[in-house]
Chains A and B, each alone.
Chain A
């Protein structure tokens, strides 16, 4: 929409009022995490005082979280699993996307359809058979179980995103390399792929956040505390029966969100490009 008269009244009604309301809705849970994690228990469980303010901030919950639980180990597991499965997915994604985007061969339409279909297979359709398969392979309670299965969620996405990116690169450089006698593999690795770094960053950052976010497989495959990821660890070990350690839970929620938020903040543009790539043709 255009703003013809951009007086501050018009602007505040059309822009700042709705945007402000939405930002409060969006950001409140993060504020609530931060406030809760800093409250002593005496304030946390007091129904009388105003809950949005901390009167006597304390870092006790953070200290407890880091000393009494395996939070640091969960964080390490999460980062390790997310990094490795993202790397695997990027490699396989390129192997799918390069031929599909740049070559002509019999069966390409079928493979492209298969990749798209795989992306749309709902995860709940797979977790029961996968649980049985993982048990039979003896991979329960190993990080290998999730490192193997996360790429199934990430590869179709990476391939799809990279295909879009690859198609936008002009053919001239590759043709020149081919005429000069370079093999197809050389052309791909030395000439083509270096041109596509932004595409890799988009796909990588998106895959990484997806892997960090995964919960269902981790919940089923990882039942020992030393192999858990942050989401599963928080749910399974900071909630004991009906007792919720809210201070620690909120500290864990905040700390667990920080790594991905930091990485994301460096690559917002790439992330947005990846997010919108499937739906919007630039």
Chain B
């Protein structure tokens, strides 16, 4: 009963003797649900259930490999009295804000530069995306070695140009460590902005620019009144994704600083990891992880109010 031979004349109707079960599965809604149920069950078991279980854990005093006892909101109260927790909140906001803004501006710049005609454009685009596709941990190890105070190129230049000797400890000083993390995050995430915004730019009709030029618009006018408004939906979505994944970042910090020096670079994810996997306090760790949701929800809400393009 091949359907690859489409001409109707060749086709022998099979449905004539179709059982009632067959007719039932041919219904649009039944077929859809039969299709959808297996993946939905899979996701409910491995995302939905852990999510609920995480909430439950956060309400327990639960040392690793031992049964937990229900303690209500005690973990969250402990978080609120933990100075490191508030440091973590502050770190996460600083990290997310600066990394996002730099990626947005840099990505827009990269997209505008690449939206010109030039040779090897496709090769350049492929190379630009490399930081985004290479396993993050591996490239971050390379950055750690670039930032090495003694043997790395940055401090070698600083020493030999007599700017600083022996040169700063890029990951050992609290402020420099945060700055270094932000730079590495921008290095990795900027291609996503750049290439997506470039794709957005390419959907803008050249006629709009021509019309604006005829009306006497300068380069800046064209950017501000034509490019930016039309790009806004793309910027909004890209930033939304980026904020969520930057806010919940783990890999960069784990590899570069492990939250140090003196908790100056701990984010929600790494602090929760330390509490749960390092100190074996699953309940407390789960409460820190959950505590990332309200501020994240607030940021997303604020973004959708202030950045969301109006439908026109």
Q: Which residues of A line the B interface, CB within 8 A?
A: 1-3, 11, 14-15, 18-19, 22-23, 25-30, 32-33, 36, 44-47, 50-52, 92-93, 95-96, 98-100, 103-108, 111, 114-115, 118, 120-133, 135, 148-149, 151-152, 155-156, 159, 176-177, 179-187, 190-191, 209, 212-213, 215-216, 219-220, 230-232, 234-235, 244, 246, 249-250, 252-253, 256-257, 260-261, 264-265, 268, 271-272, 275-276, 278-282
- Complex Cα distance, B293 from A96, in Å, reads 27
Q: Which residues of B line the A interface, CB within 8 A?
A: 1-4, 6-8, 11, 13-15, 22, 25-26, 28-29, 31-33, 35-36, 38-40, 42-43, 46-47, 49-51, 53-54, 57, 65, 109-110, 112-118, 122, 124-139, 141-143, 145-146, 150-153, 156, 187, 191-192, 195-196, 199-200, 203, 206, 209, 213, 219, 222-223, 227, 233-234, 237-238, 241, 244-245, 247-248, 250-251, 254-255, 268-269, 272-273, 276-277, 282, 285-286, 289-290, 292-293, 296
Q: How distant is A103 from chain B, measured CB to nearest CB, in Å?
A: 5
* Total A-B contacts with CB atoms under 8 angstroms apart: 308
- Complex Cα distance, B2 from A154, in Å, reads 33
Residues of B within 8 A of A135 (CB): 65
Top-7 shortest CB links A-B = A122-B248, A124-B269, A99-B32, A231-B137, A105-B29, A92-B39, A276-B199
Report yes or no: A261 in contact with B133, Cβ–Cβ below 8 A.
yes
Report yes or no: B36 in contact with A19, Cβ–Cβ below 8 A.
no
Report yes or no: B195 in contact with A129, Cβ–Cβ below 8 A.
no
- Complex Cα distance, B141 from A250, in Å, reads 8
With A51-B156, A132-B282, A279-B238 as contacts: A125 and B15 at CB distance below 8 Å:
no
Residues of A within 8 A of B3 (CB): 177, 180, 182, 186-187, 190-191
Interchain CB contact (< 8 A) of A155 among B43, B138, B255: B43
Residues of A within 8 A of B124 (CB): 19, 23
Residues of A within 8 A of B195 (CB): 272, 275-276
Q: How distant is A195 from chain B, measured CB to nearest CB, in Å?
A: 12
Report yes or no: B135 in contact with A261, Cβ–Cβ below 8 A.
no
User: What 20 new A-B contacts, CB under 8 Å, besides A30-B142, A46-B151, A220-B277?
Assistant: A1-B219, A2-B213, A3-B116, A22-B110, A29-B131, A30-B130, A103-B29, A108-B32, A123-B269, A176-B6, A181-B15, A231-B135, A234-B138, A235-B141, A250-B141, A250-B145, A253-B141, A261-B134, A276-B195, A279-B200
